[in-house]
Amino acid sequence: MSPRALVLRAPGTNCDEETVVAWERAGASVQVGHIGRLLADPKMLDGFQTLTIPGGFSYGDDLGAGRIFASRLGTALSDALGRFRDRGGLVLGICNGFQVLVRAGLLPGGTHAGAVTLARNLSGKFEARWVKLRPLGSKTPFLADDEPIELPVAHGEGRFLTGDPSATEALDRAGQIVLKYVDDQNHPTSEYPSNPNGSSMAAAGVCDATGRVFGLMPHPERFVDPFHHPRWTRRGPRAEGDGLRIFRNAVKSLS
Amino acid sequence: MLWHLHIVPAPGQEDLDGHRLATEATELGLPGPWTISASRGFLIEDNSEGISSKDWFERLRSLAAEVLVDPVTEQFDLSPCLPRPRPTADPRLLRADLVLQLQRQFPDARSFEIDVNEEAGTARILADDVAIDPVEFDRWTVRSYLALIPPSVSRPWESVHVMPKPGVTDPVAESALSLLHALGLDVAGVRTIRSYHVVGPREALPDLIRRVLSNDAVEHAVVGELVLDHLGQGKPYRFERIDVPILALQDDELVRVSKEGQLALSLDEMKTIQAHFAEVGRDPTDCELETIAQTWSEHCSHKTLRGLIDFDGEIIDNLLKQTIFKATKDLNLDWLVSVFEDNAGVVRFDENVDVCFKVETHNHPSAIDPYGGSNTGLGGVIRDVLGTGLAGKPIANTDVFCVAPPDTAPTDLPPGVLHPRRVLEGVVAGVRDYGNRMGIPTVNGALAVDPKYLANPLVFCGTVGVIPRGMSSKHVEPGDRIVALGGRTGRDGIHGATFSSLDLSADSEEVSGGSVQIGNAITEKMVLDVLIQARDRGLYRSLTDCGAGGFSSAVGEMGATSGAEVDLEKAPLKYEGLSYTEIWISEAQERMVLAVPPEKWPELKALCDSEDVEATDLGRFTDTGLLTLRYQGNLVAELSMDFLHEGRPKVTRKASYTPREPQTINLPRQGYDYSADLLKVLGHWDVASKEWIIRQYDHEVQGRTVIKPLVGEHEDGPGDAVVIQPVRGSNVGLSISCGINPRYGEHDPYAMAMLCVDEAIRNAVAVGADPDRIALLDNFCWGNPERPETLGSLVMAARGCHDAAIAYRTPFISGKDSLYNEYDHEGRKLAIPPTLLISAIGRVPDVRKCVTMDLKEPGNLLYVLGGASNQFGGSVWAEVTGRKAGKIWADPHRAVSHRAVYRALHSLMQRGLIRSCHDVSEGGPAAALAEMAMAGGLGVEVDLIYFGAENGSAAAHDASRLFGEGSGRFVLEIRPSDVSEVTSRLFEVSCDPGSDGVTRTVYTHFDKIGRVRTDGEAQFTIVRSDPPLVIQWPKPGDGHPVIPLIDLPLSTLKAAWQRPLHPAHVPG
């Protein structure tokens, strides 16, 4: 039976449709839910194995990306999400969804990391561009191998930063920085534009200690179809988009 | 009581905004040097009369830390906006704040020692054991917070606070207010504020504030201490009906009434109104006059182009009908669904969906507030698509900007005019913030730069939408409820519609300060989410957007043939104090008007409530033929719909056109090295890389973009058009492209129109669109049409549009004109060049067959399709080399044969025989080839010996071969193995049968010019072999004398091409 995926929508969410398509293509059966419904009925989560907070500008992102969404999720829902994770549910936050999970304290999770944020890009502006990424380790079921992938980023606030710089290193040692921006030689990099926002430790995606909560700034749902790649007319399209693998891995681990 | 939450970068965090602003100040020529620290913040008003309670303060402080301030990168201070110090500071807090401030000021200092003398109000400070002079301080005021920087250590400084003027929409503050409410804090109001700590020459501070830190049109700057006691967002309104006595007025008095009320009505129109009300037997109310002025405005009624034009003796009744509409009608194509009827033009896409497209201008608001102007320009055109048929779902945006050179000397600015660099940065940011937030990819655009746009920049924004088939028409039934959906009504944009019918002047900003609007994209995104659900559930019968004229235009249009009754006090307001007329004509953003069958209203209301979208029943549509407006039960307007929509006297304008005397252009002597010329061409604003703009837009959200705006090995090549997939899972695509060239317009407006149509089509064909399925939009931006020669050039351009549409068989489906684009100050008039934007959507039968412009593989052969051209009028090469002369031309016969060639090329693309393809436009073949080489990262070897030496006529001049512009040409890259097939197919092509029924054959110019280098050298080399005349058919490279024309490394080309709009603030 195909796993049931919930894609959670809030005012300003704008990547929900393509996220639904990605989950469907990966073999999940998908439902979109508005945050209002979930707040009214947190038990709704019981019917799903995976929850995605997709990209967008939730509530306008006026007060810092993801902040209002995270605050609406509130303590009550954070607890429900914690239980969801603890019973084996997978939580995915993409771009704004990653920002929401960080603001809500679900990523990187625990208290040892101290204050964590996704700060303004060092370039000082919103940027849309393709980046190369390398999955590291296999702490999260969303990433199954260390084959480099290419995905687009599109954000103004994506610089992963901890209040205490050593906390980022500790997360890295714990294997929680599971996706890194890499250069042409596949080495993690802090060089712009390969690292598009100046993230410390080249962090592009982070998971919690269980690996079941995963957030990333790049958009895997935008590289599902081979023709999404920016250079397919040069190299010929591959079989399918790199982003689809992330959804497939999750479905596989849940099936 | 009012509190200032002052948010500063945490120690060690770079102050990105401060650095950017200081750089900008220097670049704008303000005498420096400047050091600017930037910080943000909020003004938060509580509900208490006197001092807020300590509990409230502590709660605000903890919520601020939790939700308003970044936990890692920011720190904050919370203090009351009071003029006098308060004595009870907690010395420990004070110390902490002092250290924080000192760390910012002296980042290199390792330790601070602070000795506070509270009674004296001084602190003794040691930084790394060096004493800093004692200074006055005060825990509770902002002044002293900044005053901690001792004047003796630093240069003179000043603090500047910038906040939105009362009534200006402030989305961030709205979000903060609603969040604080949701978290249970009693807050009366919130406004955002930006604060700057400026070190620099004091005498230049006013200029710095005006040019860099704030915008007078929408913002208010305070220098020094911030002393405010409340936010002052409006006072209660007391109803009083205002009648405007016009029945007894003489002509000059009627003119005065129009002018003083900013109605932009002519004497003739005022007299018609006077006569109408004489018949009715009373004076009009202010609201009735305003309604008529809005409806009859140039912006809403297009009275010039739909009126009578005396064109050098020839009477044209409704120019649009005679040209643009006529072409569409005569083409009579079966894939057109709704043209020139609705808010956007609609064409069939596949068996399930239609697509619609609209491009609007927002010029005058953008001249005054570039950010707000383009922001709401895009928001407005998105609503046009939402208001098309029963609602289109937006899937792509476009934007085109016309500005003066961004490096214009600041001293050349006329009074009241913003620097073009600020204009450009502002309009880009405005489009970015609206499009990205809406989740609509901004995919196509252009930039045209000309000094004549200095005082009157142009901003075009477009949106493409999809509509399920069968949902492209709508109607209103009497009895339907009039429902307003979305944003609240404020004083935003009052007089926007009539403002666009007036020239700009130095005091424009004062006259029309209210015309500036600020958007809130998330409100519109929520409206979109609700509308699509409501549409699919059949909850309304008709809808339209509130654009220029607000409710007045929306309700007036929807009820034009029936009638409408509105109770104005029902409209939800942003703040108190709006009069009934202001409510009626406000151009507040993000509002739609729906006609809802009464039985569906509860379901619609419940749907809106579930998504937090405000929906309000304002009244009903009737069958009275009257527009009836009430405020708290008082009748404030009762207008005949017939008079409102049909009563306007037809405008008659004179038009005249004298062709420009062509002047022969001087061309360089043989042997001239064109390398430097090519670099200048590539560095021309219109040709240069637009990557800095494009990357700020999310061009891939929705996951539909299969050919991106930037293409090639490093994703930085200028693609001809983008291709999106309107229907997920379908390989049928839609190309989006445009053509604009104001330089041509000054030479020959008719030719400009044909050439712009050609370029928009050619861009589409270059990526794989079917030339038989391309639809066009027109946007005319002209100066004052009351000047005959201005209107005459417009008539010629409209005729060019007609002839091009017929020849290419590409119908116009919608369009818009914007006239009076002029600046007038103390007799100094500055009109824009005649500017026509042609936008095109094309059906791409199979996205897998799409072609991009970047060179692909070494060894492939390079061809120019379409021959050499010696058209230099308005060419980029002529401009950058200081040549004013030259001609351009275009004619329908040529266009008919171009179409035949495009169809042949399209069929070759469908067979995969074209490896890359790029249209030849600004800068001619040399620029096109250079762009292809740069995008592919591959060098070329080109010999022009056989290019442009055809038909026995004298061989074209080298300058023509390299830089000539004109219609119908492409550079193609073809695999050696495919050459013979391509050549045989392109050798001759058949045209459509002419009016005589005869099918003509065109022998195409298809010239091999060289190949992609195989030696791996990233070198761009163009020569012309110059063999002795006696040699028959010499082969390039046969050892004949060779004339070098251009020889440059690709890196040099790229540097020149990227320099003008290089992202100066990119790190590294």
Tell whether A128 lies on the interface with B, counting CB pairs under 8 A: yes
Tell whether A45 lies on the interface with B, counting CB pairs under 8 A: no
Whether residues B76 and B21 share a domain: the answer is yes
Asked if A154 and B711 come within 8 Å (Cβ–Cβ), the reply is: no
Task: Specify the number of domains making up chain B.
Answer: 2
Non-local CB neighbours of B1011 within 8 Å, separated by 6+ positions:
B859, B860, B861, B862, B940, B941
Domain presence at residue B109? yes
CA dist B1023 and B1006 (Å) reads 18
Asked if B699 and A71 come within 8 Å (Cβ–Cβ), the reply is: no
Asked if A128 and B695 come within 8 Å (Cβ–Cβ), the reply is: yes
The sheet carrying B112-117 orders its strands as B112-117, B122-127, B130-136
pLDDT (0 to 100) of residue B10:
85
| Cα distances (Å, whole numbers) of residue B680 to A200, B117, B964, B1053 | 40, 65, 15, 10
| Spatial contact of A25 and A32, defined as CB atoms under 8 Å apart | no
Whether residues B199 and B282 share a domain: the answer is no
Please name the residue of chain A whose CA is at the shortest distance from the CA of residue B733. A227
Q: Is A225 helix (H, G, I), strand (E, B) or coil?
A: coil
| Spatial contact of B91 and B118, defined as CB atoms under 8 Å apart | yes
Which of B483, B579, B479 lies closest to B530 in space, CA to CA?
Answer: B483
CA dist B728 and B725 (Å) reads 6
Domain presence at residue B196? yes
A221 flagged as catalytic: yes
How many Å lie between the alpha carbon of B611 and the closest alpha carbon of chain A?
A: 8
pLDDT above 70 as % of chain A = 99
Q: Which two tokens stand for residue B1042?
A: 């060779």
Tell whether A162 lies on the interface with B, counting CB pairs under 8 A: yes
Whether residues B95 and B203 share a domain: the answer is yes
Contact residues, chain B, for A241 at CB < 8 Å: none
Mutate to test the interface with B, among A8, A9, A14, A189 (most CBs of B within 10 A): A14
Non-local CB neighbours of B422 within 8 Å, separated by 6+ positions:
B24, B28, B211, B212, B370
Non-local CB neighbours of B1021 within 8 Å, separated by 6+ positions:
B939, B940, B941, B942, B1044, B1046, B1047
pLDDT (0 to 100) of residue B313:
95
Tally the C-alpha atoms within 13 A of residue B272's C-alpha that lie toward its C-beta. 17
Task: Specify the number of domains making up chain A.
Answer: 1
Q: Is B299 helix (H, G, I), strand (E, B) or coil?
A: helix
pLDDT (0 to 100) of residue B996:
80
Neighbours of A78 (CB within 10 A): 15
Whether residues B14 and B133 share a domain: the answer is yes
Specify the DSSP class assigned to residue B833. P
Tell whether A167 lies on the interface with B, counting CB pairs under 8 A: no
Please name the residue of chain A whose CA is at the shortest distance from the CA of residue B178. A68
Domain presence at residue B162? yes
Tell me what the mean pLDDT of segment A61-77 comes to: 79
How many Å lie between the alpha carbon of A8 and the closest alpha carbon of chain B?
A: 13
Asked if B70 and A117 come within 8 Å (Cβ–Cβ), the reply is: yes
Contact residues, chain B, for A55 at CB < 8 Å: 701
User: How does the average pLDDT of chain A come out, rounded?
Assistant: 92
Domain boundary residue, one of B261, B288, B305: B305
CA dist B486 and A168 (Å) reads 43
Mutate to test the interface with A, among B19, B42, B69, B72 (most CBs of A within 10 A): B72
Looking only at the bridges linking them, the beta strands covering B722-724 and B705-707 are antiparallel
Containing domain of residue A71, as a range?
Answer: 4-254
pLDDT (0 to 100) of residue A182:
98
SS3 content of chain B, % helix, strand, coil (to 5): 35, 25, 40
Which residue is associated with the tokens 């391309």? B774
Asked if B1067 and A126 come within 8 Å (Cβ–Cβ), the reply is: no
How many Å lie between the alpha carbon of B1043 and the closest alpha carbon of chain A?
A: 33
Asked if A122 and B16 come within 8 Å (Cβ–Cβ), the reply is: yes
Asked if A11 and B522 come within 8 Å (Cβ–Cβ), the reply is: yes
CA dist B303 and B294 (Å) reads 12
Whether residues B219 and B259 share a domain: the answer is no
| Spatial contact of A141 and A253, defined as CB atoms under 8 Å apart | yes
Residue B955 one-letter amino acid: A
Tell whether A12 lies on the interface with B, counting CB pairs under 8 A: yes
Which of A31, A85, A93 lies closest to A66 in space, CA to CA?
Answer: A93
CA dist B12 and B7 (Å) reads 15
Residue B975 one-letter amino acid: R
Non-local CB neighbours of B1041 within 8 Å, separated by 6+ positions:
B1025, B1026, B1027
Contact residues, chain A, for B76 at CB < 8 Å: none
**Domain CATH number, residue A12:** 3.40.50.880
pLDDT (0 to 100) of residue B851:
98
CA dihedral A190, A193, A199, A203 (to 10 degrees): -80
pLDDT (0 to 100) of residue B513:
47
| Spatial contact of A103 and A124, defined as CB atoms under 8 Å apart | no
CA dist B202 and B181 (Å) reads 41
Contact residues, chain A, for B715 at CB < 8 Å: 129-130, 230-231
Contact residues, chain A, for B18 at CB < 8 Å: none
Which of A126, A130, A132, A135 lies closest to A207 in space, CA to CA?
Answer: A135
Closest partner CB to A154 (pick from B20, B68, B700): B700
Catalytic choice (A95, A155, A228, A229):
A95
Asked if A120 and B176 come within 8 Å (Cβ–Cβ), the reply is: no
Which of A7-11, A142-146, B183-187, B613-617 is predicted least confidently?
Answer: B183-187
| Spatial contact of B444 and B694, defined as CB atoms under 8 Å apart | no
Which residue is associated with the tokens 């009735």? B288
Looking only at the bridges linking them, the beta strands covering B591-596 and B733-740 are unpaired
Which residue is associated with the tokens 């020839």? B314
Non-local CB neighbours of B767 within 8 Å, separated by 6+ positions:
B707, B719, B720, B721, B722, B723, B735, B737, B844, B850, B851, B852, B917
Please name the residue of chain B whose CA is at the shortest distance from the CA of residue A116. B72
Asked if B703 and A222 come within 8 Å (Cβ–Cβ), the reply is: yes
CA dist B23 and B29 (Å) reads 10
Tell whether A227 lies on the interface with B, counting CB pairs under 8 A: yes
Whether residues B145 and B263 share a domain: the answer is no
Asked if B1065 and A124 come within 8 Å (Cβ–Cβ), the reply is: yes
| B221 or A212, higher pLDDT | A212
Q: Which two tokens stand for residue B425?
A: 């940065």
Which residue is associated with the tokens 């073999």? A27
Asked if B526 and A56 come within 8 Å (Cβ–Cβ), the reply is: no
pLDDT (0 to 100) of residue B111:
66
| Spatial contact of B860 and B1011, defined as CB atoms under 8 Å apart | yes
Whether residues B18 and B94 share a domain: the answer is yes
| Spatial contact of B1050 and B933, defined as CB atoms under 8 Å apart | yes
Q: Identify how many contiguous H helices and E strands chain B contains and give both numbers.
A: 34, 44
CA dist B843 and B860 (Å) reads 28
Neighbours of B148 (CB within 10 A): 20
| Cα distances (Å, whole numbers) of residue B457 to B373, B443, B684, B706 | 11, 21, 18, 32
Mutate to test the interface with A, among B17, B39, B73 (most CBs of A within 10 A): B73
* Alpha helices per DSSP H over B332-419: 363-368, 370-386
pLDDT at A194 over 80: yes
Q: Kindly report the three-state secondary structure assignment for every residue of B948-974.
A: CCCCCCCCCCHHHHHHCECCCCEEEEE
Closest partner CB to B171 (pick from A62, A115, A124): A62
Catalytic choice (A15, A18, A155, A221):
A221
pLDDT at A233 over 80: yes
pLDDT (0 to 100) of residue B96:
58
Tell whether A130 lies on the interface with B, counting CB pairs under 8 A: yes
Contact residues, chain B, for A237 at CB < 8 Å: 848
Domain boundary residue, one of B305, B329, B345: B305
Whether residues B34 and B132 share a domain: the answer is yes
Containing domain of residue B93, as a range?
Answer: 2-223
Neighbours of B977 (CB within 10 A): 9
Whether residues B173 and B281 share a domain: the answer is no
Whether residues B182 and B273 share a domain: the answer is no
Q: Which residues in chain B show pLDDT less than 70?
A: 49-53, 82-157, 232-234, 495-516, 949-954, 1028-1034, 1036-1037, 1063-1068
Mutate to test the interface with B, among A21, A62, A111, A194 (most CBs of B within 10 A): A62
pLDDT (0 to 100) of residue B961:
93
Strands (E) across B888-1018 are located at 916-919, 940-943, 970-974, 988-990, 1001-1003, 1006-1012
Whether residues B146 and B289 share a domain: the answer is no
pLDDT (0 to 100) of residue B124:
62
Whether residues B167 and B280 share a domain: the answer is no
